[in-house]
Chain A
């Protein structure tokens, strides 16, 4: 089963920051936090991942709490095209190849 808890849905106004939370209270020291999103029924798209430091790339920022029990994905200026299901996934980077997808957060960006 997925090791993460996410709210089932969120709305965000276009142009505003979208902050998507994720709880992973049982995360272990060698597990990374990954974020993917799925637009309509397309294949999931990688967004960002991190271990304990905050990360930023061209798509988003990832803020991980100091105790690593939760994280927040930030889309700084949400657009209508960011409407999607966002998945927070915790996994090791050795010993297993698979991602266990949960039900994610359905983000709707409103005009």
Chain B
């Protein structure tokens, strides 16, 4: 079965550093998403991306965050200047139709020290 792939599985960074989390969505999917889950808390929506632009974002997704689809296969989340509270598991997801049947990756655990 096709799957969403995320790299790295773990990322440790110093506060104030930039990080890029990478995702390879399922190849024929057109809609891409980032969610995050702080340890012990709910899964939270960050952003959705379609047709090379952001289609929806949450209030969490402030100016420190950006997304990009640099080529035909990768989808990235950049955090410009990480804060301690950015420590979380970040999940990438993709779907063939808008919002339908999301396929999630296994996540990147980001630890900001």
Contacts and interface: CB of A to CB of B under 8 A. Distances in A.
B31 interface: yes
A43 B83 CA distance: 23
A30 interface: no
Contacts of B48: 97-98
Contacts of A44: 43, 91, 102, 104
B25 interface: no
Contact of A98 (B42, B99, B100, B109): B99
A43 B42 contact: no
Interface in A42-91: 42-46, 49, 87, 91
Interface of A (DSSP majority class): loop
A91 B50 CA distance: 19
Contact of A103 (B42, B45, B100): B42
Given A97-B98, A99-B102, A43 B45 contact: no
Interface string A22-49: 0000000000000010100111111001
Interface of B: 4, 31, 33, 37, 42-45, 48, 50, 55-56, 58, 89, 91, 93, 98-107, 109
8 contacts: A43-B104, A43-B105, A93-B98, A94-B98, A98-B33, A98-B99, A101-B42, A103-B42
Given A41-B107, A46-B103, A98-B33, 18 more contacts: A41-B89, A42-B104, A42-B106, A43-B93, A43-B105, A43-B106, A44-B43, A44-B91, A93-B98, A96-B56, A97-B31, A97-B33, A97-B55, A98-B56, A98-B99, A99-B99, A99-B102, A103-B42
